[in-house]
Amino acid sequence: MNHRACIVVPADDPPQLQGSPHLERLQSYGEVVLHASRPASNAEKIERCLGAVCMINSRSAVQWPGAVLERLSALKMITVCGIGTDAIDLEAARRLDVVVCNIPGRTASIVAEHALALMFAVARQAWHQTDLLKKGRWLARNLVYLQGKTLGVLGLGSIGREMARLGTAVGMRVQGWTLHPTPERSHELGIPLRPLEEVLRTSDVISVHLKLTDQSRGLLGRGEFALMKPGAIFVNTARGAIADESALVDALHSGRLGGAGIDVFAVEPIPADHPLLHCEQVVLTPHIADQTSEGMDLLNGGAVDNVIAFLEGEPRNRVV
């Protein structure tokens, strides 16, 4: 592999890799080009990456369809700065012989901690109470006590497993659902694995930790929200497109759900007129579950490690 490759960060907005000392490790491998803004069009994506051999996609909101990848004749490798690779047309990458890598597991505890924080913030109406106090209103509210309640974890990869551990640690009864349940996995995790419908129907809190795939896209629609316990809390730190946002808003407005803590959205940044922004009983964060200083350093280091491994002929963390 050409060790004087062009390595491009096409859209580092909000800033993640900018100023990272990890980028300096790439200097001996080739020219590093970082764009601090998001491309406005597919044409601009192509223009920015025309000579790139390796691409570091630091923002999952920036999509790479096959029609764009086909125009990048020099491109041999893409790494994301996280676990999810849904921003990339993987079938096109496979066809074009472009290696795609991710960073599995490094920030699992950080993301799970954010999901736990959202759960508690919703249960105690922390944002809503703060807003009322700022407006000069001192009102008693009916809050939710979580110890002894049931936490349903959807998806039991590294983040889901950590969320299950945290839920147990704070005194919740934890149950899970996975696309690949086995008695051995249930024993390993120390929690019962149940059918999706049963988990939705019997959990006081549902926390989503699934990858976005053809199987998980739109998994939670109107029927699934209707199954949830009245007053249940819904938390999503995975991908926005896993849940039907219109159905979620309706479940909140109808009182079916007691609240929601959401870090991810189908369209990011979330549009200014999105109906979720007008729901009282929500806590919303802008896809920042792993954006602590520790988390960003782990992800930046992982992305650079992936590029170096590829350029040295030993790709790691390959998805394609």
Residues with catalytic annotation? 239, 268, 287
Q: Alpha-carbon distance 9 to 17, whole Å?
A: 8
252 and 278 Cβ atoms separated by less than 8 Å: no
3 state DSSP class of 227: helix
Angle ∠(235,238,239) on CA atoms, nearest 5? 110
Q: For residue 105, what are its two tokens?
A: 């597991």
Burial of 287 (0-12, 13-18, 19+ CB in 10 A): buried
Burial of 145 (0-12, 13-18, 19+ CB in 10 A): exposed
Q: Among 162, 158, 52, 154, which Cα is nearest to 113's?
A: 162
Q: Is the dihedral of CA 189, 195, 198, 203 positive or negative?
A: positive
Q: Alpha-carbon distance 290 to 232, whole Å?
A: 25
- At a CB cut-off of 8 Å and minimum separation 6, what does 74 contact? 6, 50, 51, 52, 53
259 and 122 Cβ atoms separated by less than 8 Å: yes
Residue with tokens 């809390």: 233
